[in-house]
Amino acid sequence: MKTTRNTASKAAILDLLTQSKVALSHSEIQKLTVDLCDRVTIYRILDRLVNEDVIHKIATPDGTVKYASCHHTHDHQHHTHNHVHFNCEKCQSVTCLDSVEPKFSIPEKYLVKEVNFTLTGLCPNCS
């Protein structure tokens, strides 16, 4: 049986991601949490939160990995990470567009397990 550790650091990082309107990178999280914990602990907490399905990873076009809180309740909605992300070229913010689901078609016998669909341009604050 797998146990889940709830630490002050984990709670603080989850709260930070939940309150953020944009996805955050590891280095942004580290700066915002100041001396809460070291960088390795932050990586472990982020991996644990991804595995617990409360946050998800977003790969940006420049290769940076950002993290965002999942805006769902398992009881009321079918939860999926297969939504569109928007990457602003100017301010570098990454935003989840939860209401936009990508559509695509693939050849037979391919099984899609995850979609990472990122649009790039200017966000409303920068356009």
Q: Where are the beta strands (DSSP E) in 1-121?
A: 24-25, 55-59, 65-69, 84-88, 94-97, 117-121
Helices (runs of H) and strands (runs of E) counted in the chain: 3, 6
* 126 labeled part of a ligand binding site: yes
* 91 labeled part of a ligand binding site: yes
Q: Which structure tokens are listed for 103?
A: 């559509």
Phi, psi of 44 (to 5 degrees): -65, -40
Could you list the residues known to form a binding site, using ranges.
88, 91, 123, 126
Could you list the residues known to form a binding site for Zn(2+), using ranges.
88, 91, 123, 126
